Structure 1
């Protein structure tokens, strides 16, 4: 499953004891495609559901790291903050695109003289005690006032709070700081739990990630655009934010024009 599917199963299990019993009977629920928030992991633990986190991608034929540990002959390393993978599950490259293949796949000869092919995932991560923790995408970083800010880290903290499981961090241009982060979240179900206060979440993000990471605003969307696999459709969200900002600018311009017209009449 992807995290949004797993979260919906947990919601059902929390409301329906029979569903919870059936979910607990499964040997392991494999979840991948996106980071699993701490809050979702806590809910799964409280229900007794055996969650198994999977990490991998199309280029690795799916999951090749489970719960932070490589499976089979898979190898993991971190270079310049990027997660890189090696092993027999790697693709040979991209059909008809040798330039992208050369960019994403690298071959290095080890001390034993044996060459190893590494795949550059584009994911940021770290190895702690030999276990992989993926912290986000390297291309999901904005620069605000000269400070690098990870949108994925902002999302991770926001999603730890009640009612913010669907939160997506976005970047918007700012005349003073260059870029600033904001949060988009699905409108809460009226039958769902109360949503944590935005100002409280902003304060936690500021404390843990610094002032530059504190989101300036949050806005609700009726239904979060998603890709077929369940991940948020970041391009569609950015386009929606662009239309929203253009609408606000048009409204402000119309208000300003009306005010000037009244002054002229006076």
Structure 2
């Protein structure tokens, strides 16, 4: 069985002295990371560990833990350090016999149930100094267990097997293709699939990568310039905050990937104009699919931005085409295949697709397709358009209303930078439609006329899809990866009305 540990072996053999994680001056070389992975695997074997829990911010310790767990044949379980103590206690209890690596504030809590607990610093020291003779090369097939956010239910542990992750890497990245000096910058927490995907794809490509633990636009720019960053990954809100700065020159940056949330057309258009030398890619994927399953590439961005044809220009709002080896189909409510441009459920199939949860069988249909629970459609040329979670559909007076459709209209207004549309309980209609908008930079909350925006929506959509109320806030609460909690926002609006 090929594991992600084998990918590290390949890099350590080809370019042992190349820095692969961290700053050029003090980062980890491939040889050193491999040594630490062996040392960590030996520590896990000696402790008879059943899993390796990681509870802390991203960085070299996370990368070391990922490959140590792979070589020990146990799953890495990165937990969300933003959860409450009681929530964490329940998740930790699911992994009896685990060893843990954590930020200092979590060490005592983990010590209550884990056999061994290391701080991140002590883990790095122990793995590098531990003798590795006879380091185990075990064959556990689950590489990572990542818990979903649990916004609508208890968090579920998604099982990602080595076969899923290796398939994703070799299907999307050319081994050792990057030149010395290539550097990627990411700012995602370790409990997100993007953290795992970036750790293994950048390594396999031979590209050094740096983690910015807490995003700040000025710090992001400073790191890009100081470390001569050539590639970066952001969510739309990050990109917006960087572009708001007066001095945002990024001479070394050559490519930028974005995803995780809807990208306003005005924002990506502004970015293309501000950084004409940068190649943009939009990536769409899920935890259950080992990250990306569709990409809108640089050439697609360029052609769409320059197109006079409205159909081609509309592709800027798509997530591109499925990756090689990934099959995407759209089904109608009756389960039959949808036609071109006909909305329905997005189903996906391929070797990188897991669709498995801890304690449950794989949620694949008889043909091997996984239901993403996202709505969307494929256009005539196979470009995938995602129209949001089907669970987010608003039912107003027995009519199904897509919040994405309304958000798309509001984002075209020059006064709106960000928006969310939710359904709020209503005695007469079942749910009423409410929107929250954030003004464009330079405009105040007070200057935006909510009734004018309602009229704007009504001119584009029929009256039943016009928000009953529009609120103007200074910002929207988003996660570190740019996602909105619609349920939480609906709760805030309901409380405000009460």
TM-score exceeds 0.5: yes
Q: Which residue of 1 aligns with 2:409?
A: 157
Equivalent of 1:22, from 237, 247, 250? 250
Q: Which runs of 5+ in 1 are unaligned?
A: 109-116, 247-266
Is 2:305 aligned against 1:55? no
Equivalent of 1:31, from 234, 248, 258? 258
After superposition, the CA RMSD in angstroms is 2.3
Please state whether the residue corresponding to 2:356 is helix, strand or coil.
coil
Q: Is the 8 A contact 1:56 1:65 kept in 2?
A: yes
Q: Which residue of 1 aligns with 2:463?
A: 211
TM-superposed CA distance for 1:196, in Å, is: 5.5
Q: Which residue of 1 aligns with 2:378?
A: 127
Instruction: Give the distance between the partners of 1:179 and 1:213, measured in 2 at CA.
Output: 12
TM-superposed CA distance for 1:211, in Å, is: 1.1
Instruction: Give the distance between the partners of 2:489 and 2:422, measured in 1 at CA.
Output: 8
Q: Is the 8 A contact 1:172 1:180 kept in 2?
A: yes
TM-superposed CA distance for 1:163, in Å, is: 4.0
| Equivalent runs, 1:132-143 vs 2, <5 Å | 132-143=384-395
Is 2:350 aligned against 1:87? yes
Specify whether residues 239 and 212 from structure 1 end up closer, same or farther in structure 2 by C-alpha distance, changes over 3 A only.
same
Q: Is the 8 A contact 2:450 2:471 kept in 1?
A: no
Q: Which has the higher strand share?
A: 1
TM-superposed CA distance for 1:244, in Å, is: 0.8
**Number of aligned residue pairs:** 226
TM-superposed CA distance for 1:97, in Å, is: 2.4
Equivalent of 1:192, from 436, 442, 447? 442
Instruction: Give the distance between the partners of 1:168 and 1:181, measured in 2 at CA.
Output: 11
Q: Is the 8 A contact 2:235 2:482 kept in 1?
A: yes
Q: Is the 8 A contact 1:140 1:150 kept in 2?
A: yes
TM-superposed CA distance for 1:3, in Å, is: 1.3
Q: Which residue of 1 aligns with 2:366?
A: 107
Instruction: Give the distance between the partners of 1:143 and 1:9, measured in 2 at CA.
Output: 37
Is 2:242 aligned against 1:9? yes
Q: Which residue of 2 aligns with 1:65?
A: 294
Specify whether residues 35 and 239 from structure 1 end up closer, same or farther in structure 2 by C-alpha distance, changes over 3 A only.
same
Relative contact order, higher structure (CA 8 A, sep 6+): 1
Q: Which runs of 5+ in 2 are unaligned?
A: 1-233, 297-319, 333-343
Q: Which residue of 1 aligns with 2:329?
A: 77
* CA deviation map 1:186-229 (0-9, x unaligned): 4x58x724665433432332233321110121223454222232
TM-superposed CA distance for 1:142, in Å, is: 1.4
* CA deviation map 1:56-87 (0-9, x unaligned): 01111111210111122111110120111111
Equivalent of 2:434, from 182, 185, 195? 182
Q: Is the 8 A contact 1:31 1:52 kept in 2?
A: yes
